[in-house]
Structure 1
């Protein structure tokens, strides 16, 4: 959880302090150009995330979940802390924005490796019949990271002047990532690797190239989770990052009114995600995921209609709806996707199928929606965007097989069917020839 908290804490802090960072690293007479340059650097991390998923997914299946998670949290906390120590443009010239890009790239690399390792780790340690509940805390903790980031930016902007914020106070939120990262590192050092990984290692079933093995044998499952991730990432980035920009840009709602309501929405999905995760342990992953997708299709439009009211109460109710809908989908999500793959290629498979959609639809969603809303004049465009993603993910969910309620041995037998089928098609002819030769003899 702390790995996800550090990741999304930095995400929120950078996004909310973007106007300040624009003056620190890209000062110019044109404030819009400075802001666009800052947001461009923000997007760099998303384009690096797939590389992190590939690299750390490979390492997670080769050297273990624990060792990979240690490297990931060190990289994330170190890169975020380093951002708080960077020289400004006035101090270092072009070196300052270049170092900022390097730090954001390292953060993206780390973020790309966090999910596959942590999801595999928790799913493989979870008690039988409770995998949905335990894994739901991973994505649920995203709400804590976003909340901490929002509160930090809100408090900082309230207690220090704009001059102090641009001079030195902007560094403080990034430096706060260090103690969070150290606590996470301490906890991960005290954990053993998962029984599933140790069993695969002892049995000698770990491939030399997990990425190649994953794509060769499990490409259908990888495409399945990519389709499921579509709603997950679009709902998160539209509901809890873009809405603030949407309210300010198109409805002229100040941050002082939208941020407290947004924090309430973030805490809502943190609290409710384990509830829906536990529900999926009882009734299955598919019913809960499909119900949440239908909920998005039905409920996202009324939520955005409430935003048009612009009052705090209406915005608060809208965020509570968004938080509940997201919790319903994210609660069973991690259990559902980890159960699609055998232990020997699980981290690598998740690294591929999860991070590529996040790269495209997470990093580019704010830009796409701002352009579409402005170009078409359709003020409810974000709602239509989420509904489209929900329809696609619903269709994918309805086609997937149910895996809830299976223990580790049964699970690997189910998800290993593709492997068995592949081997059967390759070996069947040789076995038939040997059988005929035996009959002749």
Structure 2
């Protein structure tokens, strides 16, 4: 009876606090320079992830010859990409482990762990002896290294999104968080560019002998620099505020709590990640193969076009983040989805002509819509969850959806093209994903641009902005009613007991 009474008092206390006016000490003033350092440090880690992604994809044929020499050409590629895909299998496990850890120990520590683990795994691939030297042990070591990479990646991207979103002013969250995806593009460009350059200088024979190791060895100094930058970061203001507000009554959030009390944003997040990853992997990963294998376009020519497109995307991504702070990330995402629905088929018709300028134009149209997601998702996805579960819930959401739909996109599209003998299958797949996306975004996603994150205090850039926030406490604490409902759900089982 005493516990039941305590729970009722606690619920009353929560409701009463939600009606209190906001105090100036509740508003966080963000140091812009510190926020910029956070963006650079986290974006560097994301660049490392995609650097590895780029070099492994572009070295697939060479890696097959080094580690699977007894297989024929096509089978070599299958085994090489199977080893690549193995990382996607463990990503959700890594996301669960590091995500829950990040909600308990803090974002900074866990992000430093994931980066150094990823760097060690990537470096180790470059040090593994060939199949000719140690036989099948080399293949096993390659698989283990890929599994470690996937495990660390599971906590990397979700943690990076969480860290940046919690470290930036509310009114600049979009443009600063878009820097994370700039890291993605820079990493992929660097990885693919270095492989192309080294292959051109050394030639195919030397690449198989020893040249393939160079890109993997380069990851070591990048990892050291990234770890140094991240270890010097301050913990996010949102996490620190949550820790200060904790009382002895607060208990650690479990996986069961996330699934039971936050299932709706989990599902919404998975669908957002679904269409985002379908577009992302379609354009950056699948298109080089589509240009050469399906359309008969020159392989080197196709790769150079993709790299040029990615270079042009860099400022577009930042522009999308900038405009999301002004008109809302929801509107930017809706615009990108509507654009894909109507222009995917015309874009692939242009790409199918084989004319260099039309191919480039078709790729750029698709790239602009991808940039609309890259510039907004790093700020939109973290806003779905409350501070105490943000890292863990986002890691679960992102990695499960990315593993199911992102990594499988090239495989599914290639299979459907073979089945239907239609070159427009990629366009139809993009339209299908976009139709699902536009429905969910329109009816189930709240506009959060310029507002505090769920469960976090308002964050401003200048002290004079505090007064504006205090004049509209309901706007600053827009998430309170939603939080009260979750707290009541948590307390109900205690009452029944």
- Name the TM tier (shorter chain): over 0.9
1:357-436 equivalences in 2 (<5 Å): 357-399=401-443, 400-407=445-452, 408-409=456-457, 413-415=477-479, 417-424=481-488
Equivalent position of 2:234 in the other structure: 192
C-alpha displacement of 1:418: 4.2
- 1:303–1:318 Cα contact (<8 Å) kept: yes
Rounded to whole Å, the distance in 2 between the matches of 1:426 and 1:244 is 50
Q: Report the Cα offset of residue 301 of structure 1.
A: 1.7
1:317 and 2:365 are equivalent in the alignment: no
Query: Deviation of residue 110 (structure 1)?
Result: 1.3
Match of 1:43 among 81, 85, 105: 85
Aligned equivalents of 1:141 and 1:426: distance in 2? Answer: 39
Say whether the 8 Å CA contact 2:158–2:395 is kept in structure 1. Answer: yes
Q: Which residue of 2 aligns with 1:69?
A: 111
Tell me how far apart the structure 2 counterparts of residues 258 and 330 of structure 1 sit (CA, whole Å).
22
CA distance in 1 between partners of 2:112 and 2:365 (Å): 36
Cα gap change, 1:418/1:92 in structure 2, threshold over 3 Å: closer, same or farther? farther
What is the CA deviation profile of residues 176-233 of structure 1, one whole-angstrom value per residue up to 9, with x for unaligned ones? Answer: 1111111111111111101111111122277424433322221101111111111110
The answer to whether structure 1 residue 344 and structure 2 residue 388 are counterparts is: yes
User: 1:47 and 1:429, CA in 2 relative to 1: closer, same or farther beyond 3 A?
Assistant: closer
Shift of 1:289: 1.0
Task: Please give the TM-score of this superposition, normalised by the length of structure 1.
Answer: 0.94
Contact 1:210 1:344 in 2 (8 A): no
Q: In the alignment, which of 315, 320, 331 is matched to residue 287 of structure 1?
A: 331
Greater mean alpha carbon deviation, residues 308-317 or residues 408-417: 408-417
SS of the residue corresponding to residue 127 of structure 2 reads coil
Q: Residue by residue, what CA displacement relative to the aligned partner does 1:301-327 show, whole Å, maximum 9, x if unpaired?
A: 222112112233222222222221111
Question: Which ranges of structure 1 fall in alignment gaps of 5 or more residues?
Answer: 434-441
Indicate conservation of the 8 Å contact 2:340/2:434, yes or no: yes
Contact 1:258/1:312 (<8 A) preserved: no
Taking the aligned partners of 1:220 and 1:196, their CA distance within structure 2 comes to 22
**Alpha-carbon separation, structure 2, partners of 1:380 and 1:159:** 37
Aligned 1:216-365 pairs, distance under 5 A? 216-365=260-409
* Structure 1 stretch displaced more, 207-216 or 217-226: 207-216
Question: Paired residue for 2:463?
Answer: none
Tell me if the contact between 2:253 and 2:389 (Cα under 8 Å) persists in the aligned partners.
no
Paired residue for 2:16? Answer: none
**Aligned match for 1:157, one of 199, 203, 206:** 199
Change (3 A) 1:346 1:219: same
Where 1:184 maps in the other structure, the secondary structure is helix
Secondary structure at the aligned position of 2:376 is classed as helix
Taking the TM superposition and a 5 Å limit, the aligned residue runs for 1:25-40 are 25-28=67-70, 30-40=72-82
Matches within 5 A, 1:113-192: 113-192=155-234
Is the CA contact (8 Å cut-off) linking 2:320 and 2:332 kept in structure 1?
A: yes
The 1:7–1:392 alpha-carbon spacing in structure 2 relative to 1, beyond 3 Å, is: same
Question: Quick check: 2:126–2:214 contact (8 Å CA) kept in 1?
Answer: yes
Q: What is the Cα deviation at residue 424 of structure 1?
A: 3.0
Question: SS of the counterpart of 1:27?
Answer: coil
Contact 1:207–1:213 (CA under 8 A) maintained in structure 2: no
Aligned 1:77-116 pairs, distance under 5 A? 77-116=119-158
Cα separation, partners in 2 of 1:341 and 1:22, compared to 1, 3 Å = same
Q: Deviations over 1:395-417 (max 9, x none)?
A: 11102112222134269944464
Question: Deviation of residue 422 (structure 1)?
Answer: 3.5
How many equivalent pairs are there? 432
SS at match of 2:171: coil
Distance 1:430 1:295 in 2: 49
- Higher mean C-alpha displacement, 229-238 vs 418-427: 418-427
Alignment root-mean-square deviation, CA: 2.0
